[in-house]
């Protein structure tokens, strides 16, 4: 399904056109027929195997987003082989979780994807609720929806900043992004007491109710956010340098994306319409109409634009949700915090985290600890096809491609 979108104006891309749920957009330059930058096909290792250079990028490297290492084999500047090396941040999350109570793992889930602790909390709470058959009161569902969408906006903002930094725009876009991040963090802090490690959701609800005046503050932030997005769009989305560095770089075909199990904005940038908020219909997402932006080229530019557009869609969910939130309890009165022992069984709960499908698989044997605890981290699975996206491109493009995957090492290595 394709909705007509005026692609000549980057601001228009996120605007409502009609009632359709899905939209597609094209790169500005492709559409206007004025491709800014012609990429030459790079010859790959033609009879010059002896001159290959192997470089270990990382684990201490400013552009690998933490302690990630990629061993690249270069022919001149062209990547002919790329081997990702994980494990520099393996913190035994799953093993620790199997030795502590169900609730005891909640703070550890914060530290998986440390940009989005609230969505991690939600995914874990959701799987335990499935396991134990708990119900969530409506107000708590609203709070979950609101915090998750705020987290999505926060994550995508930071990602755009980091991506631009990887391209060499040192400082400025990231400064703008972090300025906005602080505004959302203020909200999260006044709600949960912590800026990053929230530990907020509980099985059957949330830990505490909204503080007085929180909704008004949140409404203010949400109302002002589009201004920042417009600013970002005006400065960056149509920027020639950004288009030259990202269009046609790191292409990922829809077939490969599906067969590799890619999820999240990366999959949608390749044009596959798959968003768990629509597919699973968890939480209250069915109450609020929003559209799923889809890319058409699967390159880095599409991945960047998808995130810009998703932020606008998230704001569209947030605005009415902040008005509709009803009064009531925030935690199911039947839920037990102490001595929590679900009956034997297994459950898999998943949500659309800002990075993709985040799932928790739990097996209970009736004891206070899970018998098996497994995380399905979107970052790790999205990273596995890095080599396919980078082969034949220059090493500078490999950095940009890595930046567009949106990895957080806490989640990759766990």
Partner 1 sequence: MDDGLRNELSKQGVVVVKLEELYNWGRKNSVWPLSFGLACCAIEMMAASMARYDLARFGAEVFRPSPRQADLMIVAGTVTKKMAPQVVRLYNQMPEPKYVIAMGACAISGGPFKQGYNVLKGIDRYIPVDVHIPGCPPRPEALIHAFMTLQRKIDAQKVFGPDRAHYFDASKPSEFPVPLFGEHDLVPPKNPNVWEPAVVVR
- Pick the closer one to partner 1 by CB: 152 or 268: 152
Alpha-carbon torsion angle 16, 21, 27, 28, nearest 10: -20
Instruction: Give least dist CB 88 to partner 1, A.
Output: 5
The strand pairing partners of 357, in sequence order, are 352
> Residue 116 or 131: which CB sits closer to partner 1?
116
Show contacts with partner 1 in window 380-409 (CB under 8 A). Answer: 409
Nearer to partner 1, 342 or 403 (CB): 403
Q: How far is the CB of 414 from partner 1 (least distance, A)?
A: 10
Q: Based on CB atoms, which residue is closest to partner 1, 134 or 409?
A: 409
CA distance 118 to 150: 9
Of 56-64, 144-152, 212-220, 378-386: span binding partner 1 (CB under 8 A): 56-64
Q: State how far the Cα of 45 lies from the Cα of 141, in Å rounded to an integer.
A: 55
Least distance CB 210 / partner 1 (angstroms): 22
Give the binding range for partner 1 (CB under 8 A) out of 189-197, 246-254, 293-301, 308-316.
189-197
Q: Nearest approach, Cβ of 109 to partner 1 (angstroms)?
A: 11
Q: How many chain residues are in contact with partner 1, going by CB under 8 A?
A: 33
Order of all β-strands in the sheet with 345-353: 345-353, 356-364, 370-376
Residue from 61, 219, 341, 376 binding partner 1 (CB under 8 A): 61
Strand (E) or helix (H) holding 162: helix 138-166
- What is the closest distance, in whole angstroms, from the C-beta atom of residue 285 to partner 1 in the complex? 28
- Give Dmax (Cα) for the chain: 72
CA-nearest of 120, 121, 325 to 218 is: 325
84, 69 Cβ separation under 8 angstroms: yes
User: How many C-alpha atoms does 225 have within 13 Å on its Cβ side?
Assistant: 31
Question: Vertex 70, ends 64 and 74: CA angle to 5°?
Answer: 115
Which residue, 111 or 219, is less far from partner 1 as judged by CB?
111
Judged by CB, which is closer to partner 1: 197, or 258?
Answer: 197
* Among the residue ranges 85-93, 238-246, 281-289, 344-352, the one whose residues contact partner 1 (CB under 8 A): 85-93
Instruction: Specify the stretch interacting with partner 1 by CB under 8 A; choose among 30-38, 61-69, 264-272, 398-406.
Output: 61-69
Q: What are phi and psi of 364, to 5 degrees?
A: -110, 140
d(C-alpha 228, C-alpha 222), whole Å: 10
Nearer to partner 1 by Cβ, of 87 and 344: the residue is 87
Residues 146-185: x/- map of binding to partner 1 (CB under 8 A)? ----------------------------xxx-xx-xx---
Task: For residue 235, state whether it binds partner 1 (rule: CB under 8 A).
Answer: no
Contact pattern from residue 89 through residue 118 relative to partner 1, giving x for each residue in contact according to CB under 8 A and a dash for the rest = xxxxx-xx--x-------xx--x--xx---
What value, to the nearest 5°, has the Cα angle with vertex 312 and ends 239 and 127? 125
Is residue 371 within 8 A of residue 364, CB to CB? The reply is: yes
Q: What is the DSSP letter of 407?
A: -
Q: Where are the alpha helices (H) located in 332-385, listed in sequence order?
A: 378-383
At 168 the three-state DSSP class reads coil
Least spacing, CB of residue 87 vs partner 1, in Å: 6
Residue 305: closest CA among 13, 108, 100: 13
- Please pick, from the candidates 4, 87, 133, 366, the single residue that binds partner 1 as defined by CB under 8 A: 87
Question: What are the residues whose beta carbons fall under 8 Å from the beta carbon of 290, sequence distance 6 or more?
Answer: 21, 277, 313, 314, 316, 317
Note whether 195 binds partner 1 by CB under 8 A.
Answer: yes
Q: Which of 17, 12, 51 is nearest to 291 (CA)?
A: 17
Contact residue for partner 1 among 8, 60, 135, 259 (CB under 8 A): 60
Nearest-approach distance from CB 328 to partner 1, in angstroms: 32
| Closest distance to partner 1 from the beta carbon of 408 (Å) | 9
Query: How far apart are alpha carbons 61 and 388 in whole angstroms?
Result: 22
Stretch that binds partner 1, among 60-68, 224-232, 310-318, 387-395 (CB under 8 A): 60-68
Nearer residue to partner 1 within complex by CB, 92 or 281 = 92
**Torsion of the alpha carbons at 12, 18, 22 and 24, rounded to the nearest 10:** -40
Min dist CB 63 to partner 1, Å, is: 9
Task: Give me the residues that bind partner 1 (CB under 8 A), please.
Answer: 59-62, 66-67, 87-93, 95-96, 99, 107-108, 111, 114-115, 174-176, 178-179, 181-182, 195-197, 409-410
């Amino acid at each position: 399904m394709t909705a007509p979108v005026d692609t000549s104006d980057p601001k228009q891309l996120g605007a409502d056109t009609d009632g359709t749920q899905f939209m597609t957009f094209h790169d500005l330059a492709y559409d206007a027929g004025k491709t800014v930058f012609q990429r030459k096909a790079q010859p790959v290792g033609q009879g010059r195997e002896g001159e290959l250079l192997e470089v270990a990028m990382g684990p201490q490297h400013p552009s690998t987003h933490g302690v990630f290492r990629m061993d690249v084999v270069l022919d001149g500047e062209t990547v002919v082989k790329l081997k990702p090396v994980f494990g520099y941040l393996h913190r035994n999350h799953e093993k620790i979780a199997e030795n502590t109570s169900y609730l005891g793992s909640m703070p550890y889930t914060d530290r998986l994807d440390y940009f989005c602790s609230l969505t991690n909390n939600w995914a874990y709470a959701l799987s335990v609720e499935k396991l134990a058959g708990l119900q969530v009161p409506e107000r708590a569902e609203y709070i979950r929806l609101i915090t998750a969408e705020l987290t999505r906006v926060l994550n995508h903002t930071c990602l755009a900043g980091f991506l631009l930094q990887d391209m060499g725009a040192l400082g400025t876009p990231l400064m703008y992004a972090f300025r906005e991040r602080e505004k959302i963090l203020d909200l999260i802090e006044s709600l949960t007491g912590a800026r990053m490690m929230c530990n907020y959701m509980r099985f059957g609800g949330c830990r505490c109710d909204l503080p007085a005046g929180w909704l008004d503050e949140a409404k203010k932030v949400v109302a002002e956010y589009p201004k920042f997005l417009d600013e970002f769009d005006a400065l960056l989305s149509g920027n020639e340098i950004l288009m030259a560095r990202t269009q046609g770089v790191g292409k990922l075909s829809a077939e490969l994306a599906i067969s590799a199990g890619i999820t999240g904005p990366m999959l949608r940038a390749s044009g596959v319409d798959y968003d768990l908020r629509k597919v699973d219909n968890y939480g209250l997402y069915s109450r609020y109409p929003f559209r799923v932006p889809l890319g058409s080229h699967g390159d880095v530019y599409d991945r960047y634009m998808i995130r810009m557009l998703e932020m606008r869609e998230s704001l569209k969910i947030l605005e009415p949700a902040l008005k509709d939130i009803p009064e009531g309890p925030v935690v199911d009165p039947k839920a037990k915090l102490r001595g929590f022992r679900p009956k034997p069984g297994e459950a898999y709960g998943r949500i659309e985290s800002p990075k993709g499908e985040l799932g928790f698989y739990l097996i209970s044997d009736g004891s206070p600890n899970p018998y098996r605890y497994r995380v399905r981290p979107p970052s790790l699975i999205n990273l596995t096809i890095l080599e396919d996206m980078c082969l034949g491109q220059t090493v500078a493009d490999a950095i940009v491609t890595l930046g567009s995957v949106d990895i957080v090492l806490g989640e990759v290595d766990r």
